[in-house]
Structure 1
Amino acid sequence: MREKRTTAREVAQGDLFGPAVDAGVGARQAPGPSPGAGGEYLDMCGTQNFCPPSDPRFEDLRRIGLPRAWLMVAETVGFDAWLEVWRRLSADESLLHDGGQRMPKLRRYDAYLRFQRNRYIEALADRGMGVAQVARAVARNLREPLDEKHVAKIMRRR
C-alpha cells in the first residue's frame, strides 16, 4: 500500500515564529541552516516550573487548625474537591468515631462554614455597618439567622 504525500503547507500547531518553510520531509529537506525556533515550547521547561501557584484559600484551612496530614490531602486533590470530601466525611457518623483506626483528627465541616461566616461578618464590620445591619445581611445572604448579641461578639473580636 502506498501513500501519496502532499506538498501543501499545513501547520497543525500555532505559527509563533513566522510562516512555515516548505523544507521537505525527512532526508529530503532543503539545504540551508536549520531554523532555531524550537518545538514551540517554553524555554523554561523543567520540573521546578510545574508547581501550581499556591491557593490563598488553603491559608483558611491552616488558620482553623486543620492537621498537617489533612492539609497535605487538600493540597493534593485541590481546594474545591477537598471541601466536597470533607463535607462527605463529616456527614458520615460512622467515621466520626474511628474505632481504633489511625486517622488524623478532622474537625467537622461546620467549623469551616462558621469560619467563613465570621470572616463575612468581620468584613461587613470593617465597612462600618452596624450590628443590626450585619445580622440582617447574614440572614439574607447566608440564610443563617443570628442573634444580634452573637454578631456583636464576633464583631468585637475583630
Structure 2
Amino acid sequence: MKMPPVWLRIAEKIGVDALMVLWRELDGSDDVPRTDNGMLLLRLRPFDSWQRQMRNQHIKMLAAAGRSPAQIRQALMEHYKLSLTTGRIARIINESHE
C-alpha cells in the first residue's frame, strides 16, 4: 500500500509508532466521517488559524488580568517574537465584549 507523501513526512517527524497510534485512533472513531468506500475524511482547520485563536485567547487573558495593550504588546514580543500594534490588540480585546 502506497502512503501519500504528507503521511510519510509526518512519520519522519513524529515517528512511525506515533503515526500508527494516530491512524488506529482515527480509524476506530465514530466521529471521523468516511467516504462510501471507507476512506477517512479528516477535517483540520489551517494551523495558522488555530495559532491566531490561541494568541487571541492569550491576549484576552492578559487583558482580564489588568495588563494594558502596551504591556501585552511587550509580552508578545518577548515570548513569541510577535509584533502587533496596540490598536490591533485593543480590537482583539474588545471582540469579546461585542
**Which interval holds the TM-score relative to the shorter structure?**
0.5 to 0.7
Name the counterpart of 2:93.
Answer: 155
Identify the match of residue 133 of structure 1 among 65, 71, 77: 71
- Pick aligned residue for 1:124 from 62, 65, 75: 62
* Structure 2: runs of 5+ lacking an equivalent: 1-21, 27-38
After superposition, the CA RMSD in angstroms is: 2.3
Partners of 1:106 and 1:117 in 2: CA distance: 18
Secondary structure in 2 matching 1:119? helix
TM-superposed deviation, 1:114: 0.9
Amino acid at match of 2:63: A
**Can you list the C-alpha shifts for 1:14-66, whole angstroms capped at 9, x where unaligned?**
xxxxxxxxxxxxxxxxxxxxxxxxxxxxxxxxxxxxxxxxxxxxxxxxxxxxx
Equivalent residue runs for 1:2-151 within 5 Å: 76=25, 103-151=41-89
The CA deviation string for residues 49-105 of structure 1, in whole angstroms up to 9 with x for no partner, is xxxxxxxxxxxxxxxxxxxxxxxx7xx47xxxxxxxxxxxxxxxxxxxxxxx98344
How many Å apart are 1:135 and its aligned residue? 1.0
SS at match of 1:125: helix
Ranges of 4+ aligned residues in structure 1 off by more than 2 Å: 101-106
Whole-Å Cα distance in 2 between the matches of residues 150 and 102 of structure 1? Answer: 39
Structure with the bigger RCO (C-alpha within 8 Å, sep 6+) is 2
For structure 1, the 5+ residue unaligned runs are 1-72, 78-100
- The one-letter amino acid of 1:116's match is M
Bigger-Rg structure (1/2)? 1
Mapped partners of 1:124, 1:102: distance in 2:
39
Identity %: 26
TM-score by length of 2: 0.53
Q: CA deviation at 1:106?
A: 2.5
